[in-house]
A and B are shown apart, each in its own frame.
Chain A
C-alpha cells in the first residue's frame, strides 16, 4: 500500500504556500528536520526563523509577526507546542485571534521509540478548549495538503495535528477540503464510526470487518474537530450507535467533542476508542497502536458492543 507521512506533505505544501503568498512565514524550534519545515527554510531562508529550543518565545514571536500581517506557520512536536507553550497560544495568539497556524508534528503514540514524554495524547483537548481556536487533524497526506491551503485562507489561529509515521492514502487529488465539514467515507445504517487522523484508515478497515459480519457501518473522517460538523453528528446519530476513534486520550478529544454534540442535539449510544487515561511508552508505532488498542479490530469489536447496547435497550 502506498503510504506517506502527513508531516512530509506538510513540508512540501509549505513550499507551495511560500511560492503563492509572500506573507507566509515559518518558525521552528530546532526540529526543522523532523517537522519538515527545513524544506521551506531551504527555499525561503529569509522567511524562515529558527528560534532555537524556546517554544514559548517562538509562539509569542509568531504573534508579533502576525500582528504585522504575516501568516505564520509554527512547528515543533505536539507535546512542546500544545503543552509547553499552551498559555502563549492561549493569551498571545488565540485571545487576539491572530493568524498563527500551529502545525504540530509527532502527535500521539506513533511517535514511537521516544516514549511517553514525547507522545502528546492530550493536545486536542487543550487546543479545543481555547476560544477562537480551530482544530484540524488530517487523515492522510492529501488531506494534509488540501487542508493547509484552507488553513492559510482561514482568518485566525489553527491547531493542525500531524504525525510521524507514513500513513496510507485515503483520498485522491480531486478531494476537496472544507474546514468544519466532515467527510462521509462509507454509507451505513447499523452504526457510525467517527474517526480522526490516522484512525480514519483503521475505521475504514473496521467497517469492512463488520460488513463481513453483516453490519452496515457508516464511516466519517472528522478532520475538523473544532468547529465540529453538527450535521454529520446528527446523521451519524440516526444509526443509534456511534463509536469514535482517535490517537489521543478519550478524555477531551474527538470522542468528548462528539459526545457533547450528541448529548445536546442527537443522543445515541456511544463508545470511545482512544487512550484510556494513560500515557504512552516506547515501542515501534505498530506495536504501540496494537498495545493501546488503536486498531481496526478493536474498533470493530467496540462497534459490536455499542450495537448490542442499542438493540437491548
Chain B
C-alpha cells in the first residue's frame, strides 16, 4: 500500500467515524465503542481488500463480509454508504421504524449486507458456510468476518473455529476486534480469553497480530493471509474501543450508549467534522 492510499483510507475512516457519531446521536441509541474500534478494519475491507461492486451487491463472485459482532452495524452501514451502496443521508434513519438500517444487520432489508447477525457467536459459522459454498462452486472469493473479543466467550465460536480448520477453509479471513472490553467490563475480568493467539493456533488457524488502527499493518496481514494454502486465517487486531473520540476511548460505558447532541458535537469537533457537513 502506498502513502496516497494510506492517507485516502485515513480520510474515509475519519468521515466514517463522524457519520457513526451523527447516526447514533440521531437514533439516540446504538453502540459507539465497538463501531469505532472496528472502523479502520471495515474501511480497509470495503475500500481496499474486498472485490465488490455496489451496483451489483449480490454478484455470486463477490467477496463477502460477515459482521459477527452485529452491534457494530453503524460502522458497516457507514462503510457501505461511503462506498456507494446507498445515499449517505439514509444513515440518519438508523434504528428508526421502517428503516433498512436495522439495529443489527438485516440481509433481507439492505443490499450489501451479506448476513443477518446480532446474536453473538453465530457469524463465524455463517462465514464458514459461505466459504464451503465457494469451494464447492470453484469460486475464488474470500469470506471476511469480524468477531468481538467478548464474543469468543460463546462456545459456538470454537465449534466454528474447528469447522474452518477441519475443512481447510483458507478462503476465510477473520479479524478479532481485540479491544479488551465488553459490556460489563474488561474481558480479562468478565471471562478471560487467555492467550488468544495460541488458542486460535491450537485450533488449526493461521494467526497474525496487528495494530487494528494501522492500515499498513492490516494490509500486510491480509496479503499474508491470502497466501495461506490450507488454514483459515485469524488476524488479531489490537484495537481501542471508542477509537477516534478521546472521551470514549477505552471506556466500557460507551459500549452501548449513544452520545447526546452536546457530546456528539464535541465528538465531531474532535474528529474534525461538523454536524451539517461531514
Contacts and interface: CB of A to CB of B under 8 A. Distances in A.
Interface of chain A, helix or strand or loop or mixed?
helix
B191 to A, nearest CB: 19
A65 B131 CA distance: 8
Contacts of A25: 136
B133 A64 contact: yes
Contacts, number: 105
Given A63-B126, A91-B122, A96-B115, A68 B137 contact: yes
A88 interface: yes
A41 to B, nearest CB: 15
Given A46-B136, A68-B60, A91-B119, A51 B163 contact: yes
Interface string B143-172: 000000000000110011011001100000
Contacts of A49: 132, 167
B165 to A, nearest CB: 12
Interface stretch (A53-61, A215-223, A283-291): A53-61
Nearest to B135: A46
Given A57-B159, A96-B106, A64 B125 contact: yes
Given A57-B159, A68-B134, A63 B106 contact: no
B198 interface: no
Nearest to A90: B119
Interface residues of B, number: 34
B57 interface: no
B35 to A, nearest CB: 20
B118 interface: yes
Contacts of A170: none
Interface in B166-184: 166-167
Contact of A60 (B107, B134, B155, B156): B156
B108 A63 contact: no
B125 A68 contact: no
Contacts of B66: 64
Interface string B96-115: 00000000001110000011
Given A52-B162, A54-B163, A57-B156, A64 B127 contact: yes
Contacts of A64: 66, 115, 125-133
Centre residue among B106, B121, B132 by max chain A CB count within 10 A: B132
Q: Which of A25, A47, A49, A87 has the most CB of B within 10 A?
A: A49
B156 A47 contact: no
B200 to A, nearest CB: 16
B130 A65 contact: yes
B122 A92 contact: yes
A62 B156 CA distance: 14
Contact of A56 (B116, B117, B159): B159
A60 B120 CA distance: 12
A304 interface: no
Nearest to A50: B166
Contacts of B156: 54, 56-57, 60, 88
A178 B123 CA distance: 34
A128 interface: no
A202 B166 CA distance: 46
A67 interface: yes
Contacts of A97: 108
A66 interface: yes
A16 B47 CA distance: 45
A96 B130 contact: no
A49 B271 CA distance: 48
A62 B131 CA distance: 11
A238 B179 CA distance: 64
A287 B66 CA distance: 49
A208 interface: no
A67 to B, nearest CB: 6
A303 to B, nearest CB: 44
A69 interface: yes
Interface in B186-245: none
A63 B126 CA distance: 6
A70 interface: yes
A54 B133 contact: no
A190 to B, nearest CB: 47
A96 B116 contact: yes
Interface string A86-100: 011001100111000
A92 B132 contact: no
Nearest to A51: B163
A90 to B, nearest CB: 8
B199 to A, nearest CB: 17
A61 B129 CA distance: 4
Contacts of A95: 106, 116
9 contacts: A57-B125, A57-B163, A61-B132, A64-B115, A65-B129, A67-B107, A88-B125, A96-B108, A96-B116
Interface of A: 25, 46-47, 49, 51-52, 54, 56-70, 87-88, 91-92, 95-97
* In the A-B complex, the 8 residue pairs with the closest CB atoms: A64-B129, A68-B133, A60-B125, A57-B159, A54-B159, A64-B126, A65-B129, A61-B129
Given A56-B125, A59-B125, A67-B115, 13 more contacts: A49-B132, A57-B160, A61-B129, A61-B132, A63-B129, A64-B130, A67-B130, A68-B129, A68-B130, A88-B156, A91-B118, A95-B106, A96-B116
